[in-house]
């Protein structure tokens, strides 16, 4: 079956899914997006994803031309059209067609695109045995220049750090902020466990407010695990008992080595495994 892509409310085969080369989303990375997961044909925390999308759009003065209800309907319609139960959803809103200049006021017709597909971000063994990651020299965007809480189409900052990770033989890389504090990874939020306490960088560290991140914080509290959103350094990472990453595509994945330092016992720890199990039960209960 040919994958169908939803462009402005119309389903078209992926080979025919096109937008103008004059769209500022292409020319300047001017637009916003969300990456979501579906389980059993239903998008996990769709409302939270749409709220973040609208927040990002407001931050860059982009008017989304449809309502949240219509956006949700397009997402669900596209999933159904492709017969996808457990999959990935990429929701994109571009600035629209404009001139070969930066003036957003000269653009028109923002494009609303919904792509659904199957995804396996990491091989199964990474979830069983854990990831090895490195710290990138590329610094996370300064929040005073381009706020990382805006999920924009310009991901070059993350891409450069991801390239560093691959060059070091790793599939992910840790990013520090302009103060040298732990921020997040190129596509995932980071958590540490030390003495039974779950720690993760605060929003002020220059991170994306991850939907999966928030779900894991809620699950940890339900499990009676203390949670701290606190400033962290690489020393905290190296001396952690456990480490794991969270993201819509990645879900919850353990980390067992950072910068050639073994984390804890070098295998996924008990709290990490406990939260992975609780997360899997949560997403399945949402079906």
Q: What is the pLDDT of residue 209?
A: 93
Structure tokens at 283: 């997403």
Residues 22, 109, 63: CA angle, nearest 5 degrees:
115
CA atoms of 172 and 131, how far apart (whole Å): 8
Q: What is the pLDDT of residue 84?
A: 96
Q: In this structure, are 234 and 133 located in the same domain?
A: yes
- pLDDT band for 120, please (50, 70, 90 cuts): confident
CA atoms of 247 and 80, how far apart (whole Å): 24
Q: What is the pLDDT of residue 189?
A: 98
Report the range of poorest mean pLDDT among 5-19, 114-128, 173-187, 260-274.
114-128
Nearest to 103 by CA among 32, 22, 157: 22
Q: In this structure, are 128 and 253 located in the same domain?
A: yes
Q: In this structure, are 157 and 93 located in the same domain?
A: no
Please list the active-site residues.
151
Q: In this structure, are 147 and 59 located in the same domain?
A: no
Q: In this structure, are 113 and 244 located in the same domain?
A: no
Of 117, 135, 161, the last residue of a domain is 117
Find the mean pLDDT for residues 160-181: 98
Is 29 in contact with 154 (CB distance < 8 Å)?
yes
| Mean model confidence pLDDT for the chain | 96
Of 117, 151, 177, the last residue of a domain is 117
Q: Whole-prediction pTM value?
A: 0.95
Find the mean pLDDT for residues 236-243: 98
Of 69, 88, 117, the last residue of a domain is 117
Phi/psi region, residue 29 (left: phi>0; alpha: psi -120 to 50; beta: rest), is left
Q: In this structure, are 54 and 100 located in the same domain?
A: yes
Q: In this structure, are 196 and 99 located in the same domain?
A: no
Q: In this structure, are 181 and 101 located in the same domain?
A: no
- Is pLDDT above 70 for 167? yes
Q: What is the pLDDT of residue 284?
A: 86
Range of the domain at 200: 124-285
- Is pLDDT above 80 for 287? no
Q: In this structure, are 13 and 143 located in the same domain?
A: no
Q: Determine whether 103 is exposed, middle or buried from the number of CB atoms within 10 Å of its CB (0-12, 13-18, 19+).
A: exposed
Q: What is the pLDDT of residue 116?
A: 97
- pLDDT band for 270, please (50, 70, 90 cuts): very high
Is 2 in contact with 116 (CB distance < 8 Å)?
no
CATH of the domain at 241: 3.20.10.10
pLDDT, tens digit, for every residue of 58-98?
Answer: 999 999 999 999 999 999 999 999 999 999 999 999 999 99
- Is pLDDT above 60 for 236? yes
Q: What is the pLDDT of residue 192?
A: 98
pLDDT, tens digit, for every residue of 137-161?
Answer: 999 999 999 999 999 999 999 999 9
Q: In this structure, are 151 and 276 located in the same domain?
A: yes
Q: Please list, in sequence order, all residues whose beta carbon lies within 8 angstroms of the beta carbon of residue 140, skipping any fewer than 6 positions away.
A: 148, 157, 175, 176, 177, 178, 183, 184, 206, 207
Q: In this structure, are 142 and 101 located in the same domain?
A: no
Count of domains forming the chain: 2
CATH of the domain at 34: 3.30.470.10
Q: What is the pLDDT of residue 286?
A: 61
Q: In this structure, are 80 and 138 located in the same domain?
A: no
């Amino acid at each position: 079956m040919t994958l169908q892509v939803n462009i402005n409310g119309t389903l078209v085969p992926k080979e025919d899914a096109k937008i103008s080369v004059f769209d500022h989303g292409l020319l300047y990375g001017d637009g916003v997006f969300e990456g979501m997961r579906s389980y059993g044909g239903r998008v996990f925390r769709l409302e939270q994803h749409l709220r973040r999308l609208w927040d990002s759009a407001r931050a860059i003065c982009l008017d989304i031309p449809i309502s949240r209800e219509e956006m949700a309907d397009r997402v669900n319609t596209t999933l159904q059209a492709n017969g996808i139960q457990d999959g990935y959803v990429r929701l994109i809103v571009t600035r629209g067609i404009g001139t070969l200049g930066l003036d957003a006021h000269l653009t028109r017709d923002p494009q609303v695109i919904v792509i659904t597909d199957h995804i396996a971000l990491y091989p199964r063994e990474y979830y069983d045995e854990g990831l090895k990651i490195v710290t990138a020299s590329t610094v996370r965007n300064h929040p005073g220049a381009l706020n990382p809480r805006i999920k924009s189409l310009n991901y070059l900052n993350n891409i450069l750090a991801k390239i560093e990770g691959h060059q070091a033989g790793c599939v992910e890389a840790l990013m520090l902020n302009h103060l040298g504090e732990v921020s997040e990874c190129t596509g995932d939020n980071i958590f540490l466990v030390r003495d039974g306490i779950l720690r993760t960088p605060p929003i002020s560290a220059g991170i994306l407010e991850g939907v999966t991140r928030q779900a894991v914080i809620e699950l940890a509290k339900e499990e009676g695990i203390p949670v701290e959103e606190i400033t962290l350094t690489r020393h905290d990472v190296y001396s952690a008992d456990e480490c794991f990453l969270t993201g819509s595509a990645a879900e919850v994945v353990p980390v067992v080595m950072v910068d050639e330092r073994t984390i804890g016992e070098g295998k996924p720890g008990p709290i990490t495994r406990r939260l992975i199990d609780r997360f899997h039960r949560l997403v399945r209960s949402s079906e």
